Structure formats: structure tokens, C-alpha cells
Structure 1
Amino acid sequence: MPMNQNKKKIIGRLRKTYCRLRPSKIEGVGVFAIRDIPEGASIFCGADRQRWFKFTNKELDNLDLGIKKMIDDFFPTDEKDYILAPQNGLNSMDISFFLNHSNKPNCRITEGSSFIATRIIKKGEEITSDYKTYDNNFKVWKTFKNLTSPEK
């Protein structure tokens, strides 16, 4: 039985799979390389591209508390404190939403919201990004945490 075009496309995307979710030493769940990832590779090739929309806290006020907690955990904010949410909401989260933060990340985000390897990432290594480059809320939280940390 010959392989149809859809199956060929899926096989092509499967070949571009670089990572999986695993427990992380950084925090909770993280994204880990299942094979070496070349520098410059698009790490989540095939993940659905979505339009992102800006919301104020007030616009999201009437949502269930559990949903608001997930929004806080997974959605970034811009420099004007708008919450950025993908058009298909929380149910459309792909593996990239589980990247953990590092001040020495091994990937970066592009204008088109793709994550690119900034160096060769070895099999088994956790893939990290610098949240400060795209989440204003993280900058504010990190600054506040450093100011109020009992160790300082």
C-alpha cells in the first residue's frame, strides 16, 4: 500500500522531533533532548503556530481560579503588563510551554515565536530559555524576589 502525502508529511515531522518532557532538576517538568540538536535548529518544528492576543487582568477576572493560575504559570506578559494568550487557549499548549528558565540558556526565541538552538544541545540535556527576553512578568517577579529574598 503506497504512503499518501499526509503520512509522508507526518513522517517528515517525526524525523524533526528533538525532545520530550521529563522531571526537571530546575523546576517541575522540563524539556529534554532525545538526540543531539544542531546549533540553529528549530527545536519545536511542526508545533502549531498561533496568533497571540493581549488581555488585561480585568478581562480575565471572571475565569476560574485554577485557570487563572495556569495563565500565570504559562502565559508571558509584555512590557505594558498585557497577558499574551494564544488564540486556542490553554488546551493548545505544546511542549515548548514546558521550557524552564536559565540565565545561560541553550535556545532563544525568534520574532515568529520559534525556539532556535543557540549551540549544539547534547542528548539528555535540558533545553532552557531566558524568560527575561520575552516575559516582562518574569523580570518584575525576579527583581521583587531578589529584593525580598531572606538570603540577601
Structure 2
Amino acid sequence: MLLVEVYLAPSPLEGIGVFAKKPIPAGTRTWTFHPDYDRLVPVDLYESETGPVKATLDRYAYPSRKHPGFILFEADDARYMNHADDPNCDVRDEDDHYAIRDIAAGEELTCDYNAFFPEGFEFLGER
């Protein structure tokens, strides 16, 4: 669940991105896992899906590092956060994400997808 004010807009990185409404100081917790809003989906259920549900999970969910056998689907706009090789958010802790540096109002929030995919996220295709 996002803890900072954001808006969605076209991204120069990929499709739609998440942008800061207000400046976010370095060290600010930007997101936290909240089981009422963020869903842990069993891998076997995910693998049994087809059509639009499967396509949505393929694009917006990622493997849970803390809960093997599950993927994590964020129910809010956090799922639109794009990859950057030099991100401004640290997502290595599955429960809490933080701003690595000051993020200006209007700047896109980004993370390194390799934190979710130890083998590298390209093998699944970029989001």
C-alpha cells in the first residue's frame, strides 16, 4: 500500500508510471505490505488462470521472496511502478519500501525489478 501521495501519468520508461504529487525526502517509507490491500496469490492458483486474469498477474504481480509459493499483487497504484537501472526507491525489503534519495514533485517513482527476480526480470519480459 502506497504511503505517499502519487498520481498516474504516461511514463517515458514504459506505459503508465507512478509520479510524486509532493516532494518525497530520502529515507521516507513509500510503501508497506498491507494484507487487506496487497494480495498473496498462491502460485498454483496463478498457474491455473487464463485470459485477462492471467495477463494482469503476469504484468503486475511478482514472486514473493518472504512467502515462497506465492506471488504478490498490489491492489493500489504501486503496481504501476516502473523499472529503472538507477531507481529512486529501494524495494529489497518485501514489507517496506523507501525513497533512496530525494524525489521531486512530478518525478516518477522507480524501482529495480531485479530485486523481485534474482535471475533477472528480462526472462519474464519487461512490464
Select the structure that is richer in helix: 1
In 2: Cα distance, 1:64 partner to 1:108 partner = 32
Aligned residues between the structures: 118
In 2: Cα distance, 1:131 partner to 1:28 partner = 16
Q: Give 1:64's aligned residue.
A: 50
Select the structure that is richer in strand: 2
Question: CA contact under 8 A between 1:33 and 1:121: conserved in structure 2?
Answer: yes
Q: Give 1:55's aligned residue.
A: 43
Q: Give 1:29's aligned residue.
A: 16
Determine whether 1:84 maps to 2:66.
no
TM-score, scaled to structure 2 = 0.75
Determine whether 1:142 maps to 2:118.
no
Structure number with greater Rg is: 1
In 2: Cα distance, 1:48 partner to 1:78 partner = 11
TM-score, scaled to structure 1 = 0.64
Gaps of 5+ in 2: none
Deviation at 1:68, TM superposition (A): 0.4
In 2: Cα distance, 1:98 partner to 1:143 partner = 19
Determine whether 1:73 maps to 2:59.
yes
Change over 3 Å in CA distance of 1:142–1:61 after alignment to 2: closer
Counterpart residue type for residue 49 of structure 1? H
Determine whether 1:124 maps to 2:112.
no
Change over 3 Å in CA distance of 1:78–1:93 after alignment to 2: closer
Gaps of 5+ in 1: 1-15, 87-91, 146-152
SS in 1 for 2:18: strand
Q: Give 1:13's aligned residue.
A: none
In 2: Cα distance, 1:127 partner to 1:30 partner = 8
Q: Give 2:115's aligned residue.
A: 133
Q: Give 1:3's aligned residue.
A: none
